Structure 1
Amino acid sequence: MINKKLIAPFYERLSLVLIGILALGFIIVQGKEILDPLMFGFLFAILLLPVSGFFEQKLRMPRSASSFLAIILLVAFVGGVLYR
């Protein structure tokens, strides 16, 4: 029993890669309404992680309270920047 790998020709592999890139681009464009809030949520979560960790470790707050306070501080900061 010989294990023989089938290698597709170059033009077949290239066309599959190009179709995959086009399909991924189409999915990203169509899923923009879902991906935008997810990306902003991920960004805010990463930005608030050190603040929440500070409240948990230094001020000995529970995790839920420290997360809530970090979110309240973010909203207050954004509101203060946008307030004229």
Structure 2
Amino acid sequence: IPVAQPSVMDDIEVWLRTDLKGDDLEEGVTSEEFDKFLEERAKAAEMVPSLPSPPGEAPAPASNPSGRKKAERSEDALFAL
């Protein structure tokens, strides 16, 4: 006579029930609290010095054969590892 074993779905249902019980202890955030948080973040962002904006287009690299050889050497060193 085979012994009845709990199915995977039974295990999942037990897990879900225990997981839901823990949610009662957690509190959500009210919209006023969230607005206050956003206001504080905006004030903090205003105090941070602004960074210079990056250039529109980066200058095109000059085709330099010696630079290409250096890149090949560094790749060779990586492959040597």
Bucket of the pairwise TM-score, normalised by the shorter protein: 0.3 to 0.5
Larger-gyration structure (1/2): 2
Higher RCO, 1 vs 2 (CA within 8 Å, ≥6 residues apart): 1
Structure 1-normalised TM-score? 0.41
Structure 2-normalised TM-score? 0.42
